[in-house]
Amino acid sequence: MPTLPDHVKSIVAEIETDIGESAQENGGGAAGNGRSDGIEHAVRDILTEIGEDPDREGLRRTPDRVHRMYHELTAGYHVDPDRLINGAVFSVDYSEMVVVKGIEFYSLCEHHLLPFFGTAAVGYLPRDRVIGLSKIPRIVEMYARRLQVQERLTQEVADFLMERIEPLGVGVVIEAQHLCTAMRGVRKGGATMVTSAVLGQFRRSQRTREEFLSHLERGDKSR
Instruction: Kindly name the residue from 25, 110, 151, 166 that is annotated as catalytic.
Output: 110
Annotated catalytic residue 215: no
Annotated catalytic residue 178: yes
Q: DSSP label at 59?
A: G
Annotated catalytic residue 111: yes
The dihedral built from the CA positions of residue 202, 208, 209 and 211, taken in this order, carries a sign that is negative
Instruction: Kindly name the residue from 25, 41, 104, 111 that is annotated as catalytic.
Output: 111
**Whether 119 contacts 105, CB under 8 Å:** yes
Instruction: Kindly name the residue from 71, 141, 150, 201 that is annotated as catalytic.
Output: 150
Annotated catalytic residue 112: yes
Annotated catalytic residue 67: no
Annotated catalytic residue 7: no
**Amino acid residing at 48:** T
Instruction: Kindly name the residue from 78, 109, 141, 148 that is annotated as catalytic.
Output: 109
Instruction: Kindly name the residue from 14, 155, 180, 215 that is annotated as catalytic.
Output: 180
Instruction: Kindly name the residue from 40, 156, 178, 201 that is annotated as catalytic.
Output: 178
Annotated catalytic residue 210: no
Distance of CA 86 to the CA centre of its chain: 18
Burial class (CB in 10 A: 0-12, 13-18, 19+), 51: exposed
Instruction: Kindly name the residue from 112, 155, 175, 215 that is annotated as catalytic.
Output: 112
Report the catalytic residues: 109-112, 150, 178, 180
